[in-house]
Structure 1
């Protein structure tokens, strides 16, 4: 972008337009995953919906490439692209709660921490993620799962309306009665159809939750995983627990004697009586004695923020994901082998439950294509040192290649890497791809929004 175009853009927008020669450029282009090092031609920091509309009009009319950035957690860094304009929504971070209707409206740049802070004041919450630093926008458009999913469904199951800026710069509402086809596609189809500037969510009574952490020695992983695969799906929807392979962090609540040790574990939460969680988890010694077990009542926002300090912005990340409708004995063996060979202490594998309430939504009710999945898995190579980036990628890819034959074929779209190709994107959108392509043709026929896990428009009739 030449200097004249940059100055013209600045006059068209209320928010700042940051170019490569501006003092704040390095910070403006940086994203959560430090493995992503891209140089956009400008970063447009939108203050409001009017800025978003003006930015979309400007990039379209000038034939510019662009990417859209919300809260900024995107693993593949889809919010920035070399030589493209980044439309940065992070200044738009307001949340408004209506306790009478038990709904909240979150602006596109809000984080889960900001959403949780606002709703918790009223003893309410909606299902969304496991870290407070995650952006509401990207998480929601991919489907969204988290601690409340078994009880209250996916994030998109609790989305009641969205405000959207379309490719022609117009502004529309999407909900069951307005632009219903667009509303369907937004719930799992990613950022393919426009820029959502605000999300309206249904809220549920959630205040203090029961929280538990159980870790076992790594040599028990196969026994623990076989026990976990049988125990959790038959448990009441109030109970949630994600399985992890990990190195024990050198911090409370873990005792010093196990700091840094390779282990496997489950992070539990319960929306039932917090005091009853310890009794519910009295069975955790069945696969073998835990090295550590802890339960406590906790405000829901504190649970959401529990891992923020362990995984701050600026680490190297490489991840791969898949959905699973079961965990075979052969898959257990794969997990055991790669848990033992994790390249760094922060590298991990998580299995997130997506059954319960999420599994009882109709398979065609939203664009989320895997309502019969029981787990959404992610393999993440993580470390602060850029020199370890190749090792992180090699481990994650090798692990994924060994595990993928035991999967359902597709992944949570937010766990797809940018380098996985069209076959993986098609597998992830599954049987909904043709319908999504038709919605794309209706709302973005020229594929203006393509810096994403892209759905190409269906050919016009």
Structure 2
């Protein structure tokens, strides 16, 4: 939770409740000079601002206090489509999410089934009444006939554990990201081509839907600056522990895929998933907040004791 929150924290409820970092109320932090301080809107507010999206650059966070919401069930599940339907379905999805209510967040992307078939997936999550959720999803469900339709009322806790299943411990992972402001014709074509080039049966492309409450926070309110509607394209290279020399092939696939999407993407990236070799993207990720973060770094960690490779802010 700490790492998720410090970098922003995308999730299936962000349309309704915002990012994880938007729901942080306070944090206890051990600073570079060894002090234990509590940061909130009333104590060390400048540090609290930086912790909400600024990454692990200002201290060691030892406890966090969150705003919680009562939620038991959601309408959610996987929809899988064959590749011959993927282009039209993805274009429809790109238009459909522009008017999605806050309660509905829809992840999309490509993966391979256990049988070796590459498919387009949609994963809607609706956190409201069952009747309203069924109405909200109706146009999506009627547009095309999926191979698999698993949408049902589920306990939210069960949903979270279902999302863990495709990423088992022990497997190797390397992730690159690009933030797409829309799904234009060229972007859709690029995604379709990349989906046919996975480096392993476990690799995937995932589009995280950012909108609603998360988009209505002013960019200057927290260190997390990308507050416009967008899709976070997560390029996931995943493979079983390899023979000597196999790692590089998977890393190169993810890096090449990221470069392919870059012309259609916003500058910057999601700092929780930036590679240590992508430091040139950090200032763009923070945008107009970057200079303020540099000043905060000079104040709380002038000797650069804490420097996460995700969003490394170096004082000068």
TM-score range, shorter chain: over 0.9
TM norm structure 2: 0.95
Give the corresponding residue for 1:245.
110
State yes or no: 1:395 paired with 2:253. yes
Deviations 1:338-387 (A, max 9, x none): 10111212111111111110000111000011101422221011011324
- Structure label with greater radius of gyration: 1
Give the corresponding residue for 1:439.
296
Deviations 1:4-34 (A, max 9, x none): xxxxxxxxxxxxxxxxxxxxxxxxxxxxxxx
* Matches of 2:141 and 2:42, distance apart in 1: 51
State yes or no: 1:269 paired with 2:134. no
Residues 49, 221 of structure 2: 8 Å contact kept: yes
Shift of 1:419: 2.2
Shift of 1:443: 0.5
Give the corresponding residue for 1:355.
211
* Matches of 1:441 and 1:143, distance apart in 2: 22
* Matches of 1:306 and 1:375, distance apart in 2: 22
Shift of 1:279: 4.1
Shift of 1:241: 0.9
TM norm structure 1: 0.66
User: Structure 1's 281 and 373: CA in aligned 2 closer, same or farther, altered over 3 A?
Assistant: closer
Shift of 1:275: 5.2
Residues 247, 346 of structure 1: 8 Å contact kept: yes
Aligned residues: 313
1:353 alignment partner, SS class: strand
* Matches of 1:324 and 1:357, distance apart in 2: 18
Deviations 1:205-228 (A, max 9, x none): 211111121111012222111111
**Which of 269, 284, 287 is 1:430 aligned to?**
287
Give the corresponding residue for 1:418.
276
RMSD: 1.5
The answer to which structure has the higher helix fraction is 2
* Matches of 2:137 and 2:229, distance apart in 1: 24
Shift of 1:288: 3.1
Residues 151, 356 of structure 1: 8 Å contact kept: yes
* Matches of 2:200 and 2:130, distance apart in 1: 34
State yes or no: 1:162 paired with 2:32. no
Shift of 1:281: 2.5
State yes or no: 1:191 paired with 2:48. no
Give the corresponding residue for 1:177.
42
State yes or no: 1:292 paired with 2:157. no
Gaps of 5+ in 2: none
Q: Kindly report which structure 2 residues correspond to 1:131-146, keeping only aligned pairs within 5 A, or say none.
A: 136-146=1-11
* Matches of 2:164 and 2:122, distance apart in 1: 17
User: Structure 1's 137 and 362: CA in aligned 2 closer, same or farther, altered over 3 A?
Assistant: same
Give the corresponding residue for 2:91.
226
* Matches of 2:282 and 2:147, distance apart in 1: 40
Deviations 1:314-336 (A, max 9, x none): 21111111222212211111000
Give the corresponding residue for 2:226.
370
Deviations 1:253-286 (A, max 9, x none): xxxxxx4321001111111123554443232355
